[in-house]
Structure 1
Amino acid sequence: MSTVFDLEITVQPCHIDSLGHVNNVIYMQWMQDVATAHIETLGLGLKEYLELKHAMVAVEHHVHYRKAAFEGEKIILRTWLNDLNALYSFRQYVFYRSEDQAILFTGNTKWACVEIATGRPKRMSPTFSQAYQPITEQLNPLDFSNLYTMVVEQ
């Protein structure tokens, strides 16, 4: 069963653009980073993808930049799965700054299951569909008084 997953990062100088805040492209990279960290905890990282000969690839992103982030700030990158069918999983993201209790960014991604060798769509194997379960309705992923599986980036 999947759950809400948190990755804490500190904004680095390389994340900052010429306007002095985190560049919008970095948020996309953080989406990838937190999704990758989450699937690793679910036991479906790159090694398992290669063994199973199929993988999940991003096919659609929707993003909403709400507030700027700045160098040195600690940010919680939160993700969870909210839907699943035979070919697609749907992942949500919220990036949060605890210092002022601000939601900086929200987004979602539609991920497709594909055969690695051909890049063609493939129905998810039971290994995938069991690991990529949506969170239960009892969890409120927007409640940051609860921290979930937390990884702190070094």
Structure 2
Amino acid sequence: MPWDYPQPFTQPAAPQAQDIDGLNHTNNAVYVQWCEKTAWAHSRALGLDLHDYHRLDRAMAIRRSAYDYLLPSVVGDALTLGTWLVASDGKLTMERRFQLIRNHDQATVLRGHWELVCIELGSGKPRRMPEEFCRAYLPALATR
């Protein structure tokens, strides 16, 4: 597939009837939900899950998100959603990218991007990434 970055973490996706909106294509909010589920699956694959976030009293929270909806998808489309961690200062911030590809023609349906900041769950305030975050996430940073 024509991925924007090498070696994406991928998850299959397929619009269901309940995902289709009044314009007869997949509702934009569904793509956002798929991105969130795929980001968590990627984090778990890297060794950090929600339990670890609570144990460490830290989380990578979305500070900003942006999505480019490039093409519609419909019921019956087989899609693959890829994600990467692409940048981090190793202290407070990370950047995650998404790309959704329609399998049959390899067309990119969506691109997304999150700016993440490490927060202390108890206070909601920005805090330095714990060493466990650095060990899991920093080696996974993609390069073009």
Calculate the TM-score normalised by the size of structure 2: 0.89
Distance in 2 (CA, whole Å) between partners of 1:135 and 1:102 is 21
Identity of aligned residues (%): 33
Tell me what 1:116 maps to. 121
Report Cα offsets for 1:88-141 as digits up to 9, x if no partner.
11001000011011100001001111111110001001111121121244xxxx
Q: Which has the higher contact order (CA 8 A, sep 6+)?
A: 1
CA distance in 2 between counterparts of 1:9 and 1:107 reads: 15
Unmatched segments (≥5 aa) in structure 1: 138-154
- What RMSD, in angstroms, separates the aligned Cα atoms of the two structures? 1.1
State the shift of 1:72 in Å.
Answer: 2.1
Query: Aligned letter for 1:12?
Result: Q
Counterpart position of 2:3: none
Question: Which residue of the partner structure matches residue 98 of structure 1?
Answer: 103
Quote the residue 1:132 is aligned against.
Answer: 137
CA distance in 1, matches of 2:136, 2:96: 13
8 A Cα contact 2:96 2:113, kept in partner: yes
SS, match of residue 95 in structure 1: strand
TM (normalized to structure 1)? 0.84
Letter aligned with residue 44 of structure 1: L
Q: What is the letter of the counterpart of residue 127 of structure 1?
A: E
What residue in structure 1 maps to residue 24 of structure 2? 20
Do structure 1's residue 84 and structure 2's residue 50 form an aligned pair? no
- What one-letter code is carried by the residue in structure 2 that aligns with 1:32? E
Q: Offset at 1:4?
A: 2.2
Q: Determine which of 50, 54, 64 is the counterpart of 1:50.
A: 54
The farther-off stretch of 128-137 and 22-31 is 128-137
Deviation string for 1:36-94 (max 9, x for gaps)? 11001011110111111111111101211110000121110100010001111100100
Shift of 1:35: 0.5
Structure 2, unaligned stretches of length 5 or more?
Answer: 1-6
